[in-house]
Amino acid sequence: MRIAISGTGSQGKSTLISDFLNQWPNYKRESETYRSLIKEGNFPHSKNTTKDSQWRILNYMIDEMQKWSKTDKIIMDRCPIDNLVYSLWSFEKQTTDIDKEFIDKCIPLVRESLRQLDIIFFIPITKVAPVLIDDNGIRETDEIFIKEIDNIFKMLGAQYMQNFDRNPFFPKGDSPGWIEIFGDRQTRIAMIKNYLDVDGDLIGGTEESLADLINPYDNKSFDENIQQMKDIIADQKKQRDKDIAIAHQRQLIKQFNDLANSRK
């Protein structure tokens, strides 16, 4: 079973991996992560990332994934879909040299690499268990940036759910499960137990359809979380609408000030 933990910064990915390994000690994790590559090479990353940085990180992740087979039990800190999310943000903002040509080159590579994974547990931003932003010297601490990255993750997740086997980001016919995990530390592990047995194998067997995995609402043991999920989604929509309104107001104020200054 090959598992990756994905999501924007400061959402407790490393903590979840630690808790996961305590629950399923028969799993392994990478000896080093992409963070080691960034540190050793002093590469720009996050908001300041470049084509060179993203390409190096992507290839590092893919090389690491290729070390493991379906019979291994491995949990990884992020995966190529994370790399693509940060590249998409940079392309959208046009703040670095990442352009459409680079994105077009990365998408098929990321898509095919995901055949090397069985499950992606995605940690979204929620109000259920907010995580304090901690500056570890590498992690980005800009809250707006962190939320914008989260929104891109959610967009890709929506593509997965709504267009399973028919979207450009995930491989057709051999896609990993995309499963949202949220809440406090104990709740996250409890949610994962809906999918993995005591040995860390997929409940129902390794040949179980991934289509069943991506639809937790069909799982009776998950029913108690449905209303909570709906509430979270509604809260997130309200917050996004509020952020958009504030951004619009700021733009109007800026335009007014620019006009006033031009008339002086």
Integer Cα distance of 5 and 18 in angstroms: 11
78 shares its domain with 182? yes
Count of CB atoms situated within 10 Å of the CB of 157: 20
82 shares its domain with 23? yes
168 shares its domain with 133? yes
| Distance from the first to the final alpha carbon of the chain | 67
CATH of the domain at 29: 3.40.50.300
Q: Does the pLDDT at position 61 exceed 70? A: yes
DSSP element (H, E) containing 111: helix 100-113
- Choice among 16-30, 93-107, 205-219 with the minimum mean pLDDT: 205-219
Band (124; pLDDT cuts 50, 70, 90): very high
206 shares its domain with 230? no
- According to the per-residue pLDDT averaged within each range, which of 110-119, 138-147, 218-227, 252-261 is highest? 110-119
147 shares its domain with 18? yes
Range of the structural domain that residue 234 is part of = 224-264
248 shares its domain with 157? no
Give the chain's mean pLDDT: 80
Determine the Cα angle at 24 with ends 69 and 202, to 5°: 55
Domains contained in the chain, number: 2
Band (224; pLDDT cuts 50, 70, 90): very low
Q: Does the pLDDT at position 216 exceed 50? A: no
- Choice among 24-28, 63-67, 125-129 with the minimum mean pLDDT: 125-129
Tell me what pLDDT residue 259 has.
61
Q: Quick check: helix, strand or coil at residue 84?
A: helix
256 shares its domain with 171? no
Question: Are 144 and 46 within 8 A, CB to CB?
Answer: no
205 shares its domain with 248? no
Band (219; pLDDT cuts 50, 70, 90): very low
